[in-house]
Structure 1
Amino acid sequence: MPWNEPGGNPRDPWGGGNRGPDLERSLRRLRERFGRLGGGGGLFSILLALALALVLVDSFTVINARQVGVVLRFGRFERVLPPGFHLKFPRPIEAVTKVETTQVKSVSDQVRMITNDENIVLVDFNVQFQVSDARKYLFSMRDPEDTLRQAAEAAVRSVVGANTMDTILSAQGAELVSKTRDALQKTLDGYDCGLTVTEVNFQNVSPPQEVKAAFDDVNNAREDKQRIENEAQAYASKVVPEARGEAARITAEAQGYKAERVATAEGEAARFEQILQQYRAAPDVTKRRLWLETVEKVLAGTTKVIDGSRGKNLIYLQPEGGAAPGAAPAATGTASVSAPGDKP
């Protein structure tokens, strides 16, 4: 006798009565429900409800503040959605691709090139960029970042390769960075790729390790040359002004001497003209006066004066600062005085 037959079966696992769950009844109800769903209208209602739910969920989209949405209708560009909440047709009619427009992206690379003065240089550069046009960014090229990397390398080669190593390593390197950024942006605008370059940096510019020792020797020699040139310029800056000052002093002295001689000559000429006029007016008086003036000048520098008169008297004159009284006078000079026309 089965345990689940009516009656008082002592083998009933539920302890007899109707206290346990009715499994048959539960299975029967479950089959009835699935039977109703399997009918003509039940399954269609479920599928329709699921479709409506999917349509409602896919009929709107939310664009973040850092994004824009590019809407494609049947795979063709339709419009661009700004940040915010937007309604759209569900897929597969319309699909939205979200693009980050405020995020700053970057690419880095290293190039080895020959400069204009035939030196080898390694340049590590970094390019930062943003998406300025989401439509062009998605559809103008297959791989925008790889295209940007190749365009940046071309721009670096064209700008750096056209300059010398000294220019690249000097303070003018900032101008090269600006030129590289402009050249890269011009190339990207030609590609119409919807990218804007915000910054270009040369992180490291140095010669390759293979030629670094020779390059250091060249730099040391260049620094020595510059140092010697600076010392020479400093010496020239010191000596040249001194020489110019000395030349100016000599020139001024010569001009003063010239002016003095000219003035003296002009004075002598004027004096001679006056004496000539006096001589023409009174020749004897003028000759006598000239003789007296000459004798006065001569006797002023002599230590002895001899009287030219017939008395033959010798007169000793003590020169200023000469010997003491009573000492023999020094015969340093003798002047014989006689008037014009006197007989010896």
Structure 2
Amino acid sequence: MEDRNYEVNIDPDWIKKFAPRIIGGFILLAAVVTGVKTVGPEEEGVVIQLGKYNRTVDPGLNFIVPFGVERMFKIPVQRQLKQEFGFRSTDSSGAPTQYTKSSYGDESMMLTGDLNLSDVEWVVQYRIVDSYRYLFRVRNAEKTLRDMSEAAMRKIVGDRTVNEVLTVGRQEVASSVEVLLQRMCDEYENGIRIDQVVLQDVNPPEPVKPSFNAVNQAQQERETLINQAEAEYNRVIPRARGEAEETIQLAEAYALNRVNRAKGEAERFTSLFDAYVKAPEVTKQRIYLETMERVLPKIGNKIIVDEKGNNVLPLLNIDKVKTNTP
């Protein structure tokens, strides 16, 4: 094998001629790369000049002083952001959302007001409404917001019993945390607006979960029995009250009828007695005739004789009169 040496000869005149152009091209390329910035439609750009705030630019193509003299931070002011506590979710395009809970128990494990533990998972949804305050009022605003959210949730949960946190008080806990967290953001002036706080899941710790489930089931059965008893009460008691009221009204009506009839009979007897006193014979005869008028139609065959019983009246067709009488 023969060793072959190749020599490249570069013309010095060529270097002197094209070197400035090459260097200038690199400088121009670097100026374009570092000076032209594109701001997305959901963002706004905050320009920092030599470490100091200079201006805020709108979405679109923007130019800044290149070579690090000015820097731009893109802030998603039109996008809803979220922070997850006690779990993490990964949403890949075309794949179902995956939830990871391991190694995040320190965030979700909390002490309630009655000295019980609860595993609280929640989500904070927020928006950046002031990019200047977001960048310059608070150092590391996202980390600060996470710490404030955890502190607010622990405070609200610590003021309530474990049953309230696990069952009926969940919505109240979420609303209270939202109000408290927004108040803290306004106090810190971090440029963040809280849209919503959602309790993703609230459970007792795993070692005592069967006991809590048994207690909850017993409470639900108790509520069911109470509701059934109240339904039976509402069905039976009003009916009994109605029957009692009906009986009382019937008794009152019967008593009123008897009293009125007694008063009428007494007044009738009094009027008869007054008439009898005025004309005894006439009244006596009238009473006799009225009595016979009521009695005779109720008798069967009738034979009328005189006082001595000798003469019989052959023609006294009282039965026919009774039959034809309507």
Give the TM-score taking structure 1 as reference length: 0.66
Match of 2:203? 206
State the shift of 1:117 in Å: 5.2
Out of 72, 78, 95, the position equivalent to 1:96 is: 72
1:64 aligns with 2:61: no
State the shift of 1:257 in Å: 0.6
CA deviation string 1:123-166 (max 9, x = no partner): 11122333222222222222222211121122223333444444
Q: Quick check: 2:30–2:67 contact (8 Å CA) kept in 1? A: no
Aligned residues with identical type, % of pairs? 32
Match of 2:98? none
Question: Higher helix fraction: Structure 1 or Structure 2?
Answer: 2
Secondary structure of the corresponding residue to residue 41 of structure 2: coil
1:189 aligns with 2:186: yes
The 1:276/1:118 distance shift into structure 2, 3 A limit, reads: farther
My pick for the range that moved more, 44-53 or 147-156, is 44-53
Match of 1:327? none
Out of 39, 56, 61, the position equivalent to 1:80 is: 56
| Aligned residue identity for 1:95 | R
Match of 1:134? 131
CA-based RMSD of the aligned residues comes to: 4.0
For residues 234 and 40 of structure 2, the distance between their equivalents in structure 1, rounded to whole angstroms, comes to: 68
For residues 181 and 221 of structure 2, the distance between their equivalents in structure 1, rounded to whole angstroms, comes to: 38
The 1:88/1:300 distance shift into structure 2, 3 A limit, reads: same
The 1:210/1:53 distance shift into structure 2, 3 A limit, reads: closer
Question: Which runs of no fewer than 5 residues in structure 1 stay unpaired?
Answer: 1-20, 302-309, 312-344
State the shift of 1:209 in Å: 2.0
The higher-RCO structure (CA 8 Å, 6+ apart) is 2
Out of 30, 34, 53, the position equivalent to 2:11 is: 30
Out of 219, 223, 240, the position equivalent to 2:220 is: 223
Question: 5 Å matches for 1:1-344?
Answer: 27=9, 30-31=11-12, 54-55=30-31, 58-110=34-86, 111-116=108-113, 119-170=116-167, 173-286=170-283
Secondary structure of the corresponding residue to residue 65 of structure 1: coil
| Aligned residue identity for 2:85 | D
For residues 157 and 44 of structure 1, the distance between their equivalents in structure 2, rounded to whole angstroms, comes to: 65
For residues 58 and 123 of structure 1, the distance between their equivalents in structure 2, rounded to whole angstroms, comes to: 46
The 1:118/1:257 distance shift into structure 2, 3 A limit, reads: farther
The 1:121/1:275 distance shift into structure 2, 3 A limit, reads: same
The 1:61/1:114 distance shift into structure 2, 3 A limit, reads: closer
For residues 207 and 89 of structure 1, the distance between their equivalents in structure 2, rounded to whole angstroms, comes to: 56
State the shift of 1:81 in Å: 0.9
| Aligned residue identity for 2:55 | R
The 1:261/1:67 distance shift into structure 2, 3 A limit, reads: same
| Aligned residue identity for 2:208 | V
Give the TM-score taking structure 2 as reference length: 0.69
Q: Quick check: 2:34–2:68 contact (8 Å CA) kept in 1? A: no
| Aligned residue identity for 2:124 | V
Asked which structure has the greater CA Rg, the reply is 1
Question: Which runs of no fewer than 5 residues in structure 2 stay unpaired?
Answer: 1-5, 87-107, 299-306, 309-326
Aligned residue pairs, count: 279
For residues 174 and 166 of structure 2, the distance between their equivalents in structure 1, rounded to whole angstroms, comes to: 12
CA deviation string 1:93-119 (max 9, x = no partner): 422222333444332223333445554
For residues 154 and 295 of structure 1, the distance between their equivalents in structure 2, rounded to whole angstroms, comes to: 107
For residues 33 and 210 of structure 2, the distance between their equivalents in structure 1, rounded to whole angstroms, comes to: 68
CA deviation string 1:235-256 (max 9, x = no partner): 2122212211211221121121
For residues 194 and 236 of structure 1, the distance between their equivalents in structure 2, rounded to whole angstroms, comes to: 57
For residues 280 and 123 of structure 1, the distance between their equivalents in structure 2, rounded to whole angstroms, comes to: 103
The 1:116/1:267 distance shift into structure 2, 3 A limit, reads: farther
